[in-house]
Amino acid sequence: MRTSLLKPCLPLLLMVMAGAISILGYAPFYLYPLPIISLTTLFYYIQKSDSATKAAWLGFSFGLGFFCAGVSWIYISLHDFGGMPFAMAAFATFAFCAFLSLFTAAVGFISKKLPHPAIALPILWVVAEWIRSWIFTGFPWLNVGYSQIPYSPLAGFAPALGVYGVSLLTALVASLILLFLDTQTRKKTAIALTTLFISGISLQYVTWSKPEGDKFSVALLQGNIAQDMKWDAAEVQRTLDKYYALVTASNASIIVMPETAFPMLVTQLPEAYIAALKAHAVKNQGDIIIGAVEYENEQYYNSMLSIGSAETQVYRKSHLVPFGEFIPLKSVFGWIYRDWLNIPLTDLARGDIHQQPIQISGKKAALNICYEDVFGEEIIRQLPQAGILINASNDAWYGESLASYQHLQMSQMRALETGRMMLRATNTGATAVIGVDGKVISQLPHFETGVLEESVQSYSGTTPYVRFGNWPVLLIMLSTLGLLWVRKKK
């Protein structure tokens, strides 16, 4: 009797395991074949299921294992640093993962309503990723295309098709593997898989952008300020002293600080302190980019400001994190912050989405702050004018979890998509310099104070992704789904 009751649950448990194991395909593990194997398993069980409802449960179970293993670090920000009680934080994290799993459930359900599951499943998977990237301001974390960066042959498609194109090809490989197991289609499938991987490898040798001007020196600062001490008034002077020491230890022409390196308003920084930083930058014939909070017209902004040889320029974060930097539907959710959470700066204003690159040390740099670099379609707004990408982040909110490594991998995708080097200055890691091939050139150890100095290169040129964004892949997917739907109706 017990065996008969457990039997229907076994495929669901297997899906939970397959979803969880696929996280090993992402940074810091980079075992990129694992997500393909996991998707192959999911697609197999969905195709074998005899109803849309069962397929939806399979998709939901896979998503639950996938997201609980991959983004459970949200609990750390809510409980360890936000002060939310254990039970409440655990429930909120699980509820969020369950919500994300509804997208994978929809993949299973809708696929049973369409013909040709070998085509429908990969497309539905990526359409679900795309919808997840913009609904409720978006959460495109762990799109399967990221797992292929930078070592998989499929990474070669990133400059042409972007992350959703790589996701589509990754899911397609999983579908082709299932077809390969069918002896009637084995030869054709083998040819298709071989062609796909050879094409990806070949594309890695295409020069999408070219060096512009001479190399120049950069210094990326990692202050390693503990998150639970960052906004403590007693630590302010110590923070100022630490960053002054890090700045003056470098002779680089561009020095970059992390996001909100200074836990105060820009106007509250001592004039003598700013003057000393500027003097050091001028001596280096360069500029310093500082992270701080601006206050203007009764609004607060998460900003990056340049000081030094060039005229002061400002970049303001435009894509804010819901519940972290602003409270959506404050009348509905405001009580959570009043009664359960202690998170500073939850009422920030958005910067203009059409901000242009800043010009420092004779180079044009596209700035982005923290979470913004997980949206490739937003990064390319400042291209092809910018010759280099600079990201300032503070992933200390997530402790010693996988979050900062996963975030680094998304920056690696942005470098590949744009044909630009990516410079990342973070509070606790991952502070790194990423090459145009998406590979990390140099990196500081996590949770250590330090300065990462590197000679870097500005680039010019336009990749297909910079020119067209996500539209080619979206049009292909949506038109194909439309054709499948019409065929089913006929």
Amino acid, single-letter form, for residue 304: M
Q: Which of 259, 294, 417, 454 is catalytic?
A: 259
Q: What does DSSP assign to residue 309? A: S
Q: Is 370 noted as a catalytic residue in this protein?
A: yes
> What is residue 487's three-state secondary structure?
helix
Q: Is 317 noted as a catalytic residue in this protein?
A: yes
Q: What does DSSP assign to residue 164? A: H
Q: Which of 129, 370, 372, 417 is catalytic?
A: 370
Q: What does DSSP assign to residue 310? A: S
Residue 78 CA to residue 72 CA, distance in Å, equals 11
Residue 384 CA to residue 379 CA, distance in Å, equals 10
Q: Which of 54, 112, 230, 317 is catalytic?
A: 317
* Integer angstrom CA distances of residue 456 from 208, 250, 488: 17, 15, 54
Long-range residue pairs from 23-31, CB within 8 A, at least 24 positions apart, any chain = 23/66, 23/69, 23/70, 23/142, 23/402, 25/147, 26/70, 26/142, 26/146, 26/147, 26/402, 26/405, 26/406, 26/409, 27/402, 27/405, 27/406, 27/408, 27/409, 28/402, 28/405, 30/151
Residue 29 CA to residue 165 CA, distance in Å, equals 22
Long-range residue pairs from 199-205, CB within 8 A, at least 24 positions apart, any chain = 199/156, 199/157, 200/152, 200/153, 200/154, 200/155, 200/156, 200/157, 200/169, 201/153, 201/156, 202/156, 203/156, 203/157, 203/159, 203/160, 204/153, 204/155, 204/156, 204/437
Do 257 and 367 contact (CB within 8 A), yes or no? no
Q: Is 259 noted as a catalytic residue in this protein?
A: yes
**Which residues carry out catalysis?**
259, 317, 370
